[in-house]
Chain A
Amino acid sequence: MSINLDSKIPAGPLADKWDNYKSDEKLVNPSNKRKFKIIVVGTGLAGASACATLAELGYQVEAFTFHDSPRRAHSIAAQGGINGAKNYRGDGDSVHRLFYDTIKGGDFRSRESNVHRLAQVSVDIIDQMVAQGVPFAREYGGMLDNRSFGGAQVSRTFYARGQTGQQLLLGAYQQMASQVGLGNIKLWNRMELVDVVVVDGQCAGIVTRDLMTGEIISHAAHAVVLATGGYGNAFFLSTNAMACNVTAAWRAHRKGAAFANPCYTQIHPTCIPQSDDFQSKLTLMSESLRNDGRVWVPAVAGDERAPHLIPEAERDYYLERLYPSFGNLAPRDISSRAAKRAVDSGRGVGPLKNGVYLDFADAIGRLGKSVVEERYGNLFEMYARITGEDPYTVPMRIYPASHYTMGGVWVDYELMTTIPGLYAAGEANFSDHGANRLGASALMQGLADGYFVLPYTISNYLAPMLNKAIPDTNHEAFKLAEREVKDRYSRYMSIGGRRSPDYFHREVGKIIWDYCGMERNQTGLEKALSELPALYEEFKTDLRVTGDSESMNQTLEKAGRVDDFFQLGMLMCKDALDREESCGGHFRSEHQTEEGEALRDDDNFAHVSAWEWSGDPTAPILHKENLEYEVVKLQTRSYK
């Protein structure tokens, strides 16, 4: 199969591209829309908003989620907020500034045209969500309130207490539910996509496994959207929900969808440090806390005193010292590495010396406890529950953890993958965040894709297919896919080894974290690339899955997901090894400035690395999409 990386960027000046696209695209007339069936996999922000909008337009929509309800998608856990270039503060914000901040935040490794469109539609998202009844925070006059997030010097983040993702997802879910109630969407819950089917070079549908009965079923459609989230759980420990996985994206990849920039992963600076070996996940403390909290460690290594006994002069507020203009709000990749260095220098705090302080004493002194409580009450409570410590009196302890994946399925301007008719939206695609995502931009991107991009671009693909029948699920391609899936799941059942899928997930995650985490280098990556295939062989011979495959079996579900993490892990390391530069979240220790900042190589690496599946997970094929900058000048990213 040959991969075509035509990004289909519309003509015209950057600011006009999206309008030009919309005026030129092919439309499907309202009464013809019901002749088209669209499958949407995933009901997070990207999927729910796409389902609702496509159904409102009149398409037949079928929605799939492995959760018991669309409302459980991982988007629900987002805390801090969502960006929108509304300039309600009058502090100099604009579409252009949001666009520029996002490009710069992404360390000049994203596609200008996509990012500009994202900034343009960001304002419509806020309007849409307020119309849905999302109870965003308000000021006393009744107007919407804003806060600021890392990597920005304006306040453009809208929020609903520390539960912004929850409120946005419930808004999109409710909009979708109304269409389910009207019969315009068929909802398939507890159904997992386990393969993608291509017929005559076009996406024809999917194969699912019913998690309640183990039944393997084919579903056909004119177009398929994957809105299946990110792959941060490849590291095992991450802030993602336990069930987040890469299977949908990976199965599409194996059927011909290029996978872009898999090594661009985001390590979030403010998570609660690991406390034990049995830990199952890490908890994020929202970045918004850095608006008022100050990050510090003791100035000298080995200082064992309790934090309140360490005088000001003997503390190192290292973010304020190193990045005076952004201070505690320096972007995520930079803050994470700074924390890692502080801990590596022996100045880590807490029982395992694996954290740094995030201190609210000044904020409480300045604003009073009640204001701090109003802003962050639920986060403080969450922290206290987990650690048993009171952050109003003892500084929080935080440390970076895997949080978000910028890499993902390659898509063109229309969000179409390299398989015609297959789209990817939200965190599942690679499109907008380059090598590093700014805070409060993932929710924005998910909703932009689902509400305001896909509904336009899908019609451009469907229009010429009017009256083309939905592919038949008896087609040989579907039958073959079903057989392969059944074989794969019965193989997991019959290995009869000694180790659980979780055991392997932990081990594979540790290798990826150690060698392809916050800092990478050639030796480590080569080591990972020799250890991963060996461990993968062990997985194939020593896996144990109990129970049967004809009823609910969480161990079996997990086995399939871990299998795909293995293959993805090899691709992540390969990509990280190939990218001989540092940019954003990808930090190669061989490529840094004297001050330890990321050193990009624009001459050789201003491209997207899009990988093609070759049949052998250790030998993927690299394709490049060159990034051309019309408006932005490539600069060294500085937050000093």
Chain B
Amino acid sequence: MSHSLKNLKLKIWRQKGPEDKGRFETYDIPEISDEASFLEMLDILNERLITDNTEPVSFDHDCREGICGTCSLMINGQAHGPQRASATCQLHMRTFKSGDEIVIEPWRASAFPIIKDLMVDRSAFDRIIESGGFITAATGGAPDANLIPIPKPVADAAMDSAACIGCGACVAACPNGAANLFTAAKLTHLNLLPQGQAERFKRSEAMVETMDSYFGSCTNHGECEAACPKEISVDVIAMMNSDYRKAKITNRKTLSRT
């Protein structure tokens, strides 16, 4: 049965545009049903702000079921809030209690500039994928799908890291603003599969170096894993590092042969 929470205080980051300095503003939520999702609470606040002729809070969101990776809020200092293994849009007000003060901020990382209020620009992630996060297989030439059997444990492990939704919580949670979990998740997905072997080392080298050109470096804090809504394990980073090291050797060897 539904209950309601009373007297919440929201401290929300407001910033007019990329150049604005930004500041916190406080909003009261006198009452909200615990069935409401966190984003529905913001919807209700925004409706009220429009009624008061004030600009509503801008925030990114789309699927509202934890799969598109669009939502991106820092809630009380935690990426995606207090609930483990979930995105902001999957958070419900039943996680909070009456009287709570909730601080809501955008992802903060130098590679993710703020666009407005709680919205950031995550296109650096696209640049990493463009540099090598794919298997080159032009349309039309693929062999029969069952030609290459893939052992179930391999397919399952590839799927575990392919589950990344590209939200950027890992970067936001990292004290260094590193994107190692994101990059390594994609590398592990592709590098584990037989189809991914041909470009394995070239891919590892290109993606790691593109990542380094935008993001901070990893010093093994492990905050990324704790923040990941898909619970992607930091083990993928070890695999990436090892592939990257091999890549530097393999590619040099390949080069010396040409």
Contacts and interface: CB of A to CB of B under 8 A. Distances in A.
Indicate, yes or no, whether A interacts with B. Answer: yes
Given A67-B70, A72-B70, A278 B36 contact: yes
B180 interface: no
A241 B71 CA distance: 12
Nearest to B157: A135
Nearest to A450: B139
Contacts of A133: 134-135, 158, 189-190, 193, 195-196
Contacts of B25: none
Nearest to A374: B156
A474 to B, nearest CB: 30
Contact of B150 (A129, A142, A284): A142
A72 B56 contact: no
A552 B17 contact: yes
Interface in B145-190: 145-146, 148-152, 155-156, 158-159, 162-163, 165-166, 189-190
Interface stretch (A31-39, A175-183, A533-541, A579-587): A175-183
B62 A67 contact: yes
Contact of A76 (B61, B63, B94, B130): B63
A136 B148 CA distance: 13
A559 to B, nearest CB: 11
Most interface-central of A136, A139, A170 (chain B CB within 10 A): A170
Contacts of A281: 64
Contacts of A276: 2, 33, 35-36
B149 A141 contact: yes
A139 B156 CA distance: 10
A69 B136 contact: no
B204 interface: no
Contact of A138 (B40, B56, B151): B151
Contact of B62 (A166, A243, A275, A455): A243
Interface in B9-41: 16-17, 33, 35-37, 39-40
B63 A143 contact: no
B143 to A, nearest CB: 7
A485 interface: no
B1 A280 contact: no
Interface residues of B, number: 82
B81 interface: no
Contact of B40 (A187, A280, A388, A544): A280
Given A386-B92, A555-B56, A68 B152 contact: no
Contact of B134 (A74, A128, A177): A177
Interface string A495-506: 000101011000
A551 B92 contact: no
A86 B135 CA distance: 23
A52 B155 CA distance: 25
A393 to B, nearest CB: 18
Nearest to B60: A68
B119 interface: yes
Contact of A502 (B43, B66, B142, B189): B43
B122 A138 contact: no
Contact of B135 (A68, A174, A284): A174
A506 B136 CA distance: 45
B43 A160 contact: no
B139 A138 contact: no
Contact of B163 (A129, A163, A189): A163
Contact of A69 (B122, B137, B155): B122
Nearest to B85: A381
Given A135-B158, A178-B130, A388-B94, A56 B138 contact: yes
A228 interface: no
Interface in A156-210: 160-161, 163, 165-167, 170, 173-175, 177-178, 180-181, 187, 189
B149 A177 contact: no
Interface stretch (B46-54, B220-228, B246-254): B46-54
A442 to B, nearest CB: 16
A131 B68 contact: no
The 7 closest A-B pairs by CB, nearest first: A142-B149, A181-B130, A174-B134, A131-B142, A131-B137, A127-B142, A130-B145
Interface of A: 49, 52-53, 56, 67-72, 74, 76-77, 86, 88, 124, 126-133, 135-144, 160-161, 163, 165-167, 170, 173-175, 177-178, 180-181, 187, 189, 212, 241-243, 275-276, 278-281, 283-284, 351, 382, 385-386, 388, 451-452, 455, 498, 500, 502-503, 544, 546-547, 551-552, 554-555
11 contacts: A77-B67, A86-B145, A133-B158, A135-B193, A136-B145, A142-B151, A178-B130, A276-B36, A385-B83, A551-B116, A552-B17
Interface of B: 1-2, 16-17, 33, 35-37, 39-40, 43-44, 46-47, 49-51, 53-56, 58, 60-70, 83, 86, 90, 92, 94, 115-116, 119, 121-123, 125-126, 129-146, 148-152, 155-156, 158-159, 162-163, 165-166, 189-190, 193, 195-196
Given A138-B150, A500-B46, 10 more contacts: A53-B140, A69-B123, A71-B69, A72-B70, A77-B65, A132-B134, A140-B151, A451-B139, A552-B17, A555-B50
